[in-house]
Chain A
Amino acid sequence: MSTLLQVSGVTKRFGGLTAVREASFVVKAGEILGLLGPNGSGKTTMMNLISGNLRPDAGGIAFENTEIAGRRPHLIARDGVARTFQLVRVVGEMNARENVMAGLAFRKSPLWGSAAEDEADRLLERVGLAGRAQTPAADMTYIDQKRLELARALGLKPRLLLLDEWLAGLNQTELEGGVSLIRSLGEDGVTVIMVEHVMAAIRSLCGRCVVMNAGAIIAEGSTGDVMADPAVVSAYLGDEHA
């Protein structure tokens, strides 16, 4: 598999705190990569660095062999990197269809008018929100807002999709639906990086994982190997369990 994203030596500091320290890893085209680590280990910061929401203090991020580190987020989005947010972000006073059209109208090959409406409705159906096009996003449940966010991200026709704890807070049935939805994205050729704490979902979806702790990458490899790695176990559970 070819390399889609290459993160090399990325560092990000907030004042005296180093949130990400000389992190390097690769994402291969077509894979679903898990980005794991305890709370505060720098996973969301890493997502923000890739999507352009933050600018790294050092290091490089190459997407399809083009340097994107420090580029403004709208350009990275147009290049084909879409994301969802850890704390769900939808435009509350717009309806569901308009929220998805936001993802369609400003991408590299934009859709507008009735073409955008049709595509938005198709994406809503894909994430399980068929028939909800007219519902104001503010009136939706948290779970449905997460689906809506995903539909908007898919509207960008991403080659790389960043899911930040997209499965968090789902019940068992919703989780199964969510897992098969993400798997179907992978089958469509979308590369996914998912920050996630739901281990069952990671085991079933991710072929490979990258594990962070205190801003540094402590393991990278196949999901089974990584989870058995003593460094990973001690990062999650403390040294006495390793």
Chain B
Amino acid sequence: MKNSPAFVIGAGAILFAALAFVPFYVDGYGLALAIGIASYTILATAWALFSGPTRYISLATVAFFGVGAYTVAVLGEVLPWPLVMLVAAINGMLLALVVGLSTLRLAGIYFVIFTFGLTELIKQLVTWYEVKITRTVGRYVFLDIDQQTIYWQLLALAAILFLVGYLIGRSRLGFALRIIGGDETVARHVGIDTTHAKVALFVLSALFMTLTGAIMAPRWTYIDPAIAFNPQVSFQAVIMALLGGVQRLWGPVLGVIPMTLLFEYLNANFPNYFILILGIVFMLIVYLLPQGVAGAVSSLRAWSRRDGKSVEEAR
């Protein structure tokens, strides 16, 4: 009963409906925090959707995020909003398709470096284009979209992401990805088209990252390539997902909330040491919580269950 799809989806729907009322109860600062948490929840969860089962560490999160933001910067005042989102989605998915088909044959560290380099390449390409062709470095984003609406859009996107992630987890595609993560040779020899499965998930994950960038763009008013393609976003998404745990759909959000609050605190109080502390936090997570908070919770549960059992046996 507790694990039946109807129950899980119903409970999720109620939770998201309740979260929609947040803007009515918090001030401007609270809403800004909520937007930060919502956007990183999507980025980290979408990242884990692909990287969790396959163990391909992608640092391209901000490449897709930035493509979404730039689509809005270029087309925001030209096309109606839903159409802008659609174009952003197509841009992000096409980029992911090209990247996926050309790189998912790479394994381990080569994939990590490639995705990092890709982000830099796109940033430089956009910079070159803006300087040489449009002869401006930055762009202004004047769109009549208020903070509440941004929050609700993110919330709706997050709800869709969790629904999609839940359904994939129960599907043959999700199962295939877990086998690929476990042993790719086995996956190929049981009939899984591994390239197909990996590219499909990579594109899907990129779609959500791109849309997050598109939704967030109006917050900035001014964007340039350094803002839209800031590699720190990729690193933060990875750290948050790893802290929360990537083996479960709800894992990354457990990392996003404390990290967003921590980054907020650090940025406000120790702006000069921010990167330094970020690095230390990263190392601590990898050493102390290799399975993330979600993994730690699960093993704690298993441990207490075993403990309870042995007490019973002793009786």
Q: A18 to B194, alpha carbons, bound, how many Å?
A: 29
The secondary structure that dominates the B interface is helix
- Choose one: A78, A91, A101, A112; the contact of B186 (CB below 8 Å): A91
User: Across the interface, do A102 and B172 meet the contact criterion of CB distance under 8 Å?
Assistant: no
Provide the residues of chain B in CB contact with A51, threshold 8 Å.
189
Q: Which residues of B (175-197) have their CB < 8 Å from a CB of A? A: 175-176, 178-179, 182-183, 185-194
- Give a binary string over A157-201; 1 marks a CB under 8 Å from any B CB, 0 the rest: 000000000000000000000000000000000000000000000
Q: Return chain B residues, CB-CB under 8 Å to A226.
A: none
The chain B residue with its CB closest to the CB of A73 is B188
Return A44 CB to nearest CB of chain B, in Å.
13
The answer to whether B182 and A83 touch across the interface, beta carbons within 8 angstroms, is no
A131 within 8 Å of B (CB atoms): no
Return chain B residues, CB-CB under 8 Å to A152: 186, 190
Closest to B178 in A: A94
Kindly state the separation between the CA atoms of A82 and B188 in the bound complex, as whole angstroms: 11
Asked if B183 contacts A77 (CB within 8 A), the reply is no
Judge whether A225 is part of the interface by a CB distance below 8 angstroms. Answer: no
In the complex, A89 has a CB within 8 A of chain B: yes
Contact check, B186 vs A89: say whether CB atoms are below 8 A apart.
yes
A83-B175 in contact (CB<8A): no
The interface bits of chain B over 55-91 (1 if a CB of A lies within 8 angstroms of the residue's CB, else 0) are: 0000000000000000000000000000000000000
Chain B positions within 8 Å of A129 at CB level: none
- Shortest beta-carbon distance from A3 to chain B in Å: 23
| Chain A residues near B185 (CB-CB < 8 A) | 53, 85, 89
Instruction: Name A's B-contacting residues (CB within 8 A).
Output: 51-53, 72-74, 77-78, 82-83, 85, 89-94, 98, 101-103, 105-108, 110, 112, 152, 155-156
Known: A77-B190, A77-B191, A106-B172. 7 other contacts (CB 8 A): A53-B188, A73-B189, A74-B194, A77-B188, A89-B186, A92-B182, A101-B175
Instruction: Write 29 A-B pairs (CB below 8 A) sorted by A numbering.
Output: A51-B189, A52-B188, A53-B185, A72-B193, A73-B188, A74-B187, A74-B188, A74-B189, A74-B190, A74-B191, A74-B192, A77-B188, A77-B189, A77-B191, A82-B189, A91-B178, A92-B182, A94-B178, A98-B175, A102-B175, A102-B179, A102-B186, A102-B190, A105-B172, A105-B175, A105-B176, A152-B190, A155-B190, A156-B190
